[in-house]
Amino acid sequence: MKLAMGSDHVGWELKQEISEYIQSLGHETVDFGAYSSERTDYPKYGKKVAEEVASGQFDGGVLICGTGVGISISANKVKGIRAVVCSEPYTAKLSKQHNNTNIVAFGSRVVGVDLAKMIVKEWLEASYEGGRHAKRVNMIGEIETQE
Ligand code: RB5
């Protein structure tokens, strides 16, 4: 898989480790910043990664800020994006199986590196189940078409 990655300054260090881990699992990653601990703003990276994923050029995205909250909210403003913020692997797995999430987010101030790896692994290995879940996921998409 090809994954788009982004973080703010709080998440960039964990992002390096998670990017290497994703690559070790046999996937490709592209980092859209931030590239240092210099203070910056999470909405820029949430938006950028979300646009890249929504364009269809990536199989998914991984976003990290202090809590994962601000950067996932930002990503969810982009049409076609279903970003989940997780602090444990069960939600990550179910979010892919039931909600067809295309971005996973977490907080570098919330999870350690080992837990972050578990979250990412479960999310990458899970598949959308469709079926009874498809109607509801389609209903999410319909919200985007309403003013
Ligand atoms: C930055 O201080 C912090 O607010 C940000 O990383 C994130 O936690 C926001 O949701």
**Mean pLDDT within 2-28:** 98
Whole-number Cα distances in Å, 4 to 9, 13, 20, 59, 147: 17, 16, 13, 8, 29
Mean pLDDT of the chain: 98
139 Ramachandran zone, left/alpha/beta (phi>0; psi -120 to 50):
alpha
Q: What is the pLDDT of residues 61-92, one digit of tens each?
A: 999 999 999 999 999 999 999 999 999 999 99
Q: What is the pLDDT of residues 123-144, one digit of tens each?
A: 999 999 999 999 999 999 999 9
Topology annotation, domain 2-145: Ribose 5-phosphate Isomerase B; Chain: A, (3.40.1400)
Domain residue extents for the chain: 2-145
**In testing the pocket of ligand 1, which one of 7, 8, 40, 41 has its CB within 8 Å of the most ligand atoms?**
8
**Mean pLDDT within 85-113:** 98
Which atom of ligand 1 lies closest to the CA of 11?
6
Query: Are residues 82 and 103 in contact, defined by beta-carbon separation less than 8 angstroms?
Result: yes
pLDDT category, 118, cuts 50, 70, 90? very high
* Residue 86 is a catalytic residue: no
Q: 70 CA to middle of ligand 1, Å?
A: 6
Residue 147's pLDDT is what?
Answer: 67
Which atom of ligand 1 lies closest to the CA of 71?
10
Say which amino acid occupies 43. P
**In sequence order, what E strands does the chain have?**
2-7, 28-31, 60-65, 83-85, 103-107
138: CB partners within 8 A, 6+ apart: none
Q: 134 CA to middle of ligand 1, Å?
A: 33
Query: Are residues 68 and 106 in contact, defined by beta-carbon separation less than 8 angstroms?
Result: yes
C-alpha to C-alpha distance for 142 and 48, rounded to whole angstroms: 23
Residue 17's pLDDT is what?
Answer: 98
**The pTM is what?**
0.98
* Residue 65 is a catalytic residue: yes
Q: Dihedral of CA 121/126/128/131: which sign?
A: negative
Q: What is the pLDDT of residues 34-54, one digit of tens each?
A: 999 999 999 999 999 999 999
